[in-house]
Copies of this chain bind each other. A is one copy, B any other.
Amino acid sequence: MSRILTLSSQVQACCPTNAEPAIARETASEISGMLKALADPNRLQILAIISSSEDQEVCVCDLTEPLNLTQPTVSHHLAKMVSAGILEKQKRGTWSWYRLNSSAWQELAGFFQFTKV
């Protein structure tokens, strides 16, 4: 690392660097896509409501009141999380039911454990 050699080099250049990405660009994009779909207080509350619900699933109308959001906004949040792979949607009758995609969640949890301090 050149910064250690600063004193001995005429030009005190900073960074020859290893220049290695250290994580695949694809992986970074995939994970960041899921994180982006989570990075909102209302969405975190949606997850909390799901996991504290009796059957581990909710419909849209379960959420509008506790979140104090309109129905289209709630639908939008849910759709984003589905398309990021965090939630799964199942339509039964008139209702749409949303539950956690456990493998996606495990992937995220794994990322935070694996990328240790």
Contact = CB atoms under 8 A, between A and B. Distances in A.
Given A43-B32, A113-B109, A23 B38 contact: no
A106 B36 CA distance: 19
Contact of A15 (B20, B62, B115): B62
Given A3-B95, A45-B22, A52-B22, A17 B66 contact: yes
Nearest to A42: B28
* Main secondary structure on A side of the interface with B: helix
Interface of A: 1, 3, 14-15, 17-23, 25, 28-29, 31-32, 35-36, 38-45, 47-49, 51-52, 54, 56, 59, 61-62, 64-66, 95, 100, 102, 105-106, 108-109, 112-113, 115-117
23 contacts: A1-B54, A3-B59, A3-B95, A14-B61, A15-B65, A17-B62, A18-B66, A19-B66, A21-B66, A22-B51, A25-B41, A25-B45, A28-B44, A32-B39, A32-B41, A35-B39, A36-B39, A38-B39, A47-B115, A51-B115, A51-B116, A56-B117, A112-B112
